[in-house]
Amino acid sequence: MILDISISLQTCMLTHDGDLLFEAPVSTALNGAGEQKDSGCTPRGLHEIRAFIGAGLPENTVFKGRRPTGEIYTPELGRQFPKRDWILTRILWLSGLELGKNRLANVDTMQRFIYIHGCPDSLPMGEALSHGCIRLHNKDLLTLFDLVVPGTRVYIHE
């Protein structure tokens, strides 16, 4: 099973043995592709899903530092905190698998806290707008979360 994320097409596709299991639009980094720490870019290359966070929590659960805050996102909450980078519903935490490219030193995807996560459904998909992570609408993320397993390979490319 592999999750293919195209930065240029702003899509993700989960396949297994050539069969398409899932496809959805995404939003990757506004700053484009890149691996450097503090770049705000989406890292390229081969990764794996290292951690699953939020199983069983309600849709639109708000996370900060990978912990639920106790809030449930609403448009009113969004208006109250307009500059907040909303991490909602579930987190799939990525770990790079390519030494020197996206693993260890100043290019380590996991140390950069790069996730696949939910966002307010009012935000557009198919446009690069994130701070480095891969955003999905919440319903799509819930579907994907139930399809993948720890160690699922994630290939991110332009």
pLDDT tens for the chain, 158 residues long, are 999 999 999 999 999 999 999 999 999 999 999 999 999 999 999 999 999 999 999 999 999 999 999 999 999 999 999 999 999 999 999 999 999 999 999 999 999 999 999 999 999 999 999 999 999 999 999 999 999 999 999 999 99
CATH hierarchy code of domain 2-157: 2.40.440.10
- What was the pLDDT predicted at 10? 98
**Residue among 70, 146, 66, 150 at smallest CA distance from 113:** 66
Q: What are the residues whose beta carbons fall under 8 Å from the beta carbon of 40, sequence distance 6 or more? A: 29, 30, 31, 131, 132
- What was the pLDDT predicted at 78? 97
pTM of the model: 0.97
- What was the pLDDT predicted at 111? 97
- Cβ atoms 7, 34 nearer than 8 A: no
- What was the pLDDT predicted at 152? 98
For residue 154, the 8-state DSSP code is E
Q: What is the domain partition of the chain in residue ranges?
A: 2-157
DSSP 73-119: --HHHHHHSTT---EEEEEEEEEE-SBTTTBSGGG-TTTTT-EEEEE
pLDDT, tens digit, for every residue of 21-51?
999 999 999 999 999 999 999 999 999 999 9
**Residue among 127, 119, 105, 143 at smallest CA distance from 42:** 127
Cα separation, 48 vs 91, whole angstroms? 13
**Residue among 85, 82, 75 at smallest CA distance from 30:** 85
